[in-house]
Chains A and B, each alone.
Chain A
Amino acid sequence: GAVVSQHPSRVICKSGTSVKIECRSLDFQATTMFWYRQFPKQSLMLMATSNEGSKATYEQGVEKDKFLINHASLTLSTLTVTSAHPEDSSFYICSARDPRTGARTEAFFGQGTRLTVV
């Protein structure tokens, strides 16, 4: 089945630095990818929709300049947390759907990235 790979799985960074998280679709071309943030024992909160070749669409309340999204190819989307602060520490998950099958099939999720800002 289709697979989405996310890297790194864990990252610790110093406050004020930037961190890049990659999300790759391995056996299908994803024109759209989704980035979520998840706090402990809570649901997935959609942060933004990444669109290949165009600007990402951010959800209300999500800072565009803080969470930079780039979808430069049909198999890769990146999320960069800029000038990270401890409150940005969280679990970040990406997902994508095979565009050939669309809404009626499952979304495939990356393994997630646990970000810790110290």
Chain B
Amino acid sequence: AQTVTQSQPEMSVQEAETVTLSCTYDTSESDYYLFWYKQPPSRQMILVIRQEAYKQQNATENRFSVNFQKAAKSFSLKISDSQLGDAAMYFCAYSSGSRLTFGEGTQLTVNP
């Protein structure tokens, strides 16, 4: 069974600084997809970024980028120029079929 591990229950960052959230996963599949979701206090799940395992190039979405290391099964999220609105719970997720497997989550605090 696939597992996703986020080893940082909480992280904090100063506004305008950069922070990296860690995620590792375990799978025997070769074709899969990885996601980072954000859950703000409203608790609505919002997609931040996705990565296809067959692509070597790291995905980027504006201030958000990933460091995907397939051999190491690592998928970290870098948030640049952090903003107050980035404060949320962040979940790493894995998918090889229709269902998602989530990590435990990392609570990100952004300090003004």
Contact = CB atoms under 8 A, between A and B. Distances in A.
A20 B42 CA distance: 21
B44 A103 contact: no
B38 to A, nearest CB: 11
Contacts of B98: 32, 49, 97, 102-103
A90 to B, nearest CB: 12
Interface stretch (B11-19, B65-73, B76-84, B103-111): B103-111
B97 interface: yes
Interface residues of B, number: 23
Of all A-B residue pairs in the complex, the 4 with the closest CB atoms, nearest first, are: A109-B45, A106-B47, A43-B102, A103-B95
Interface of B: 32-33, 35, 42-45, 47, 50, 52, 89, 91, 95-100, 102-105, 107
Interface of A: 32, 34, 38, 41-44, 46, 49, 91, 93, 95, 97, 102-107, 109, 111-112
18 contacts: A34-B100, A38-B43, A41-B89, A43-B102, A43-B103, A44-B45, A44-B91, A93-B43, A95-B45, A95-B100, A97-B98, A102-B98, A103-B32, A103-B96, A103-B98, A107-B100, A111-B42, A111-B43
